[in-house]
Amino acid sequence: MRSEEGEQTTKTPLPSPSIDRFVAPHLPQISDENKIPRLLSEADSPSRDDYLALVTQATNDAIRDWNVKSGTLSWPQGLHSLLGYENSSGDCDKISFWVKNVYPGDRSRIAASIQEALDGSAEHWSGEYRFRCADGNHINVLERAAIFRTTDGSAERVIGSLMDVTARKQLQDQLCRSQKMEAFGQLAGGVAHDFNNFLTTILGYSDLLLGERQIKGALAEHITEIRAAAGRASTLTQQLLAFSRRTPLEPVVVEVNSIITNLERSLLRLIGENISVVCNFHQEKDGAHIKADPSQITQIILNLAVNARDAMPKGGHLTLETAVVDLTPEHAPAFNCNDFAPGQYVQISVSDDGAGMNEEVKAHLFEPFFSTKEQRSGLGLATCYGIVHQSGGHLRVESEEGKGTTVQIYLPRVPAPPPPAYKKPGDKKARGGTETILVLEDDISVRHISVRMLRGLGYEVIEAATGNDARRLLAENGGRRVDLLLTDLVMPQTSGRRFADALRAGHPNIKVLFISGYLEESLPAAERSAPGMFFLPKPFDSEQLAAKVREALDA
Does the pLDDT of residue 56 top 50, yes or no?
A: yes
Percent of the chain topping pLDDT 90: 24
Is residue 159 a contact partner of residue 125, using CB atoms and an 8 Å limit?
no
pLDDT category at 30 given cuts 50, 70, 90 is: very low
Segment 405-432, tens digit of pLDDT: 898 999 999 998 887 655 555 445 567 8
**Rounded Cα–Cα distance for residues 110 and 3 (Å):** 47
pLDDT at 161: 93
Number of separate helices (H) and strands (E) present in the chain: 15, 17
- Strand duo 275-280 + 316-327: pairing: parallel
**Amino acid of residue 47:** S
Does the pLDDT of residue 3 top 70, yes or no?
A: no
Mean pLDDT of the chain: 78
Query: Cβ of 178: how many Cβ atoms within 10 Å?
Result: 10
pLDDT at 367: 54
Q: Within 13 Å of residue 8, how many CA atoms lie on the same side as its CB? A: 0
Closest of 229, 312, 241, 319 to residue 280, by C-alpha: 319
Task: Answer with the residue of higher pLDDT: 27 or 180.
Answer: 180
Report the range out of 123-132, 169-178, 417-426, 430-439 with the highest average pLDDT.
Answer: 123-132
Segment 487-518, tens digit of pLDDT: 988 887 778 888 888 888 888 888 999 888 77
DSSP 5: T
Give me the helices (H) in 315-466, please.
Answer: 332-335, 359-363, 380-390, 444-456
Does the pLDDT of residue 174 top 70, yes or no?
A: no
Beta bridge partners of 102: 131
Contacts by 470-476, CB closer than 8 A, 24 or more apart? 470/438, 470/440, 470/499, 473/438, 474/438
Segment 287-301, tens digit of pLDDT: 899 998 887 788 788
**Rounded Cα–Cα distance for residues 477 and 462 (Å):** 9
Rounded to 5°, the CA angle 264-348-241 comes to: 50
For residue 172, the surrounding DSSP H or E stretch is helix 166-210
> Which domains does the chain show, CATH number per domain?
24-164 (3.30.450.20), 252-427 (3.30.565.10), 436-554 (3.40.50.2300)
pLDDT at 363: 61
Peptide bond into 13 cis (omega under 30): no
- For the residues of 124-140, what is the DSSP string, one character each? EEEEEEEEE-TTS-EEE
pLDDT category at 64 given cuts 50, 70, 90 is: very high
Mean pLDDT of 58-71: 90
DSSP 26: G
Is residue 103 a contact partner of residue 138, using CB atoms and an 8 Å limit?
yes
Strands across the sheet with 62-67, in order? 72-77, 62-67, 155-164, 138-149, 124-132
pLDDT at 7: 42
Closest of 224, 233, 230 to residue 266, by C-alpha: 233
pTM: 0.46
Does the pLDDT of residue 68 top 90, yes or no?
A: yes
Q: Within 13 Å of residue 472, how many CA atoms lie on the same side as its CB? A: 7
